[in-house]
Structures are given as structure tokens and as C-alpha cells.
Structure 1
Amino acid sequence: MAADDAELLSRAKGGDTSAYGQLIERHQDRLYRSVRQILHSPEDTADVCQEAFISAFQSLAKYRGESQFYTWLYRIAFNAAVSFLRSKKPLISVEAIRGEDQNGLEIAGEISSTDPTRPLDRREKAAEVQRALSMLSTEHRLIIVLKDVEDTPYEEIASILEIPVGTVRSRLHRAREELKTILERLEIEP
């Protein structure tokens, strides 16, 4: 845990709401991006993040410091997002379909505009990959987002999902295989 986080947490646990506000400011963008990859809707993402911030504040006394603050906060947001998904039918955002999703998935590598064999430009490909991600099971989507989008270390993923590191690796392998199958079915080059 960053020294600054530890100091802010100590002050927040003592009732300093401005210290908690600083923690939120420090981590809100990363948390929003992560949850957005799960929920796709900006409004739903904002609601779930707000719920996570409130829940974390109410549970500060339970935070033992065994993991980084962000990992603990992400776990709370993850649970809120899963609960939200269970209450809703899976939907693909209109922005992702149109390729207008500004906070969407970053695709590694450039697509050559001089290559006539590539009919999709970068935005369209990102929207298609986002669509394929939304077709994954929640369990597989979460692990792909954590590892391949957020580049979260295996140990931190294990802590967030409360599973052994070996399970993270095997679940990630299955998730990547499922994503590859979906991309092939959609005729998108993985």
C-alpha cells in the first residue's frame, strides 16, 4: 500500500472525511474504468462506483490492511457490479455498438490504414471486441478485464476474486479461449 494511502486511511478511520475524499479522488478514475468494462453503461458504472465508495466508507473499520486499499475497494465495487448484473438482463451499450465508447477497450497495436484486408478501423474493432467481451460470462469477463485490460498482477486478481492464483491462471486461460471462439464466430481477428 502506498504510504500516502496508509496515512489517508488512518485519518479516514479516525473520522476525517476529507482524507477519505482524497483517497476517492486518487482511485476513482481507475475504479470507474474497471467497472465500466464490466457494466458498459456510464450511468450504471457511476451508480455502482458511488455505491462502492459509500460501502467502503461505512466499512473502513473492517479494512485490515492485508491488501492494497485499491484492491479492497475494487472487491467492494466488483461485488456491487455482480449484484447489479444479476438484477439486469445483459445488454450491449449503444455506444459500444456504434463505436462511440470513448472509455472503451484499448486495442494493442495499430491497424494499418493502407492494408485493404482490414475492413474495420480501430474504433470499429474496439467496439466489436467490446461486444465480444459482453458476450462472455461475468466470471470470464471480469478476469479478462482485470488481467488483459487493467494489467493487474495475478496475486492481486486472486485477492480481489478471493481465489487461489492457480485458479486465476486456469480461469484466465478458459476466458481467453472463450473470447477467441466468440471473436472467430463474429469474424473478428483476435
Structure 2
Amino acid sequence: MTEEKFIEDLKKNDSDAFKKLYEEYAPKIYGVLKNYVNHDEIEDALQEVFIRIIKGINGFKGLSKLSTWIYRIAVNVGKNYSRKYQRSKETSVDLEDETTQNHNIQAISNTNVKNEVLEELDYQMILNIMEKLDKEERLLIKLRDIDGMSYNEIAEIMEIPLGTVKSKLHYARKKLRQFIEEANLV
């Protein structure tokens, strides 16, 4: 099914299309929200994202990919929750969602950041290292290296210039490399 047909079905309130939307995007949105929302509120935030998608799908004009639009909604909801509850750096990327755990480990191991080392690290070490990054750095690495999004898509989602995405991602990876080296994992 093409993206255009899928969007058309969503706009027609097709229940199968909404089911497919949830199955495909819930784990991805969950991963984004974990950068902003504490564990107790994540289900509420996830529900809010899907409510906004359902309410807003008829206004989707197709100027970007559907996934980019959905991620933008997820980031905005996450930021709203973050502001609302004024949390500090307690929020972390928790990749332990059982439905995406293996995919995330494989995707992380395929990044440009010490491929050989990451393949040998156990899952908890990866989580601990990622937690040392600030939430924007974690989100950048997640979107690019785990979810495989383009730099342009990330720029649109995060509402920052393309050059800033590349620069911040470079420094986030450099920082991650440094944490790996400090942990004597290389």
C-alpha cells in the first residue's frame, strides 16, 4: 500500500488503517516520548499523540512524509509534558520495550559509533552510556542511528536547521565515543 493510499484510508476513518498506524508507529513514538516523559505518564502521552494524529489527519497536506509529521507531533507532546511537569534530567532513553529491544540493539550496533564495540556490549551497558547524553542528544541519535531518519526529516521534526542537526549529531556521537572510551570499553 502506498503512503498516499494509507493517508487516504486514515482520512476516511478506516479502522484497519488506524490499527496499522498504531501497530507501526506506537513503538517508535514510545521511544521518542521516553526522552521527555517519565515512565508513569508515558501511556497518557502516547494516547495524546494518537488523539492528535486522529484529529489532525484531515489537515495533513502531505508537505512532508507522514512519519515526519507523526514524529513532530510526538516531539511536541513530549515537550509539553516536559514543560508541564518541569522534570530535570531524570528522563532517559529506555529502550527496554520488549517489542523493539532486538531491533534497537541491532540498529545501534549499525551506527557509525564504534561498530565493533557496540556489537559486543551488553544491553545494559548501552543504556547506561546513552543515559549520560542529554535528552536532545539521545533523541538525535535515536532518530538518525536507530530509526534511520534522514537529516532533513530530523531537522523538520526538531524544528532546527539542517546544519545544526548535522553539527549536534556529530558532537553527540563524539560525546558517546568519549563515554565509551572512559568506560574502558574500547
Q: Same fold (TM over 0.5)?
A: yes
Partner of 2:53: 56
Partner of 1:116: none
Measured in 2, the distance between the counterparts of 1:72 and 1:101 equals: 23
C-alpha change, 1:147 and 1:158, in structure 2 (3 Å) is same
Q: Report the Cα offset of residue 75 of structure 1.
A: 1.2
Q: Report the Cα offset of residue 177 of structure 1.
A: 2.2
Of 56, 61, 67, the residue aligned with 2:64 is 67
C-alpha change, 1:110 and 1:69, in structure 2 (3 Å) is same
Measured in 1, the distance between the counterparts of 2:160 and 2:175 equals: 20
Measured in 1, the distance between the counterparts of 2:129 and 2:71 equals: 23
Spell out, residue by residue over 1:20-74, the C-alpha distance to the aligned partner (whole angstroms, 9 max, x if none).
Answer: 3332233333333x32663697654433322211111111232111111111111
Partner of 1:127: 124
Measured in 1, the distance between the counterparts of 2:172 and 2:11 equals: 38
Measured in 1, the distance between the counterparts of 2:18 and 2:161 equals: 30
2:179 aligned with 1:189: no
Unaligned runs of 5+ in 1: 112-120
> How much identity, in percent, do the aligned residues show?
30
> Is 1:146–1:157's contact at 8 Å kept on the other side of the alignment?
yes
| SS of match in other structure, 1:163 | coil
Which structure is richer in relative contact order (CA contacts within 8 A, separation 6 or more)? 2
C-alpha change, 1:49 and 1:101, in structure 2 (3 Å) is closer
Q: Report the Cα offset of residue 166 of structure 1.
A: 1.6
Unaligned runs of 5+ in 2: 110-114
| SS of match in other structure, 1:59 | helix
Measured in 2, the distance between the counterparts of 1:129 and 1:163 equals: 27
Supply the AA of the counterpart residue of 2:7. L
Measured in 1, the distance between the counterparts of 2:148 and 2:20 equals: 24
TM-score normalised according to structure 2 size? 0.72
TM-score normalised according to structure 1 size? 0.71
| SS of match in other structure, 1:152 | coil
Of 154, 160, 163, the residue aligned with 1:163 is 160
Q: Report the Cα offset of residue 138 of structure 1.
A: 1.8
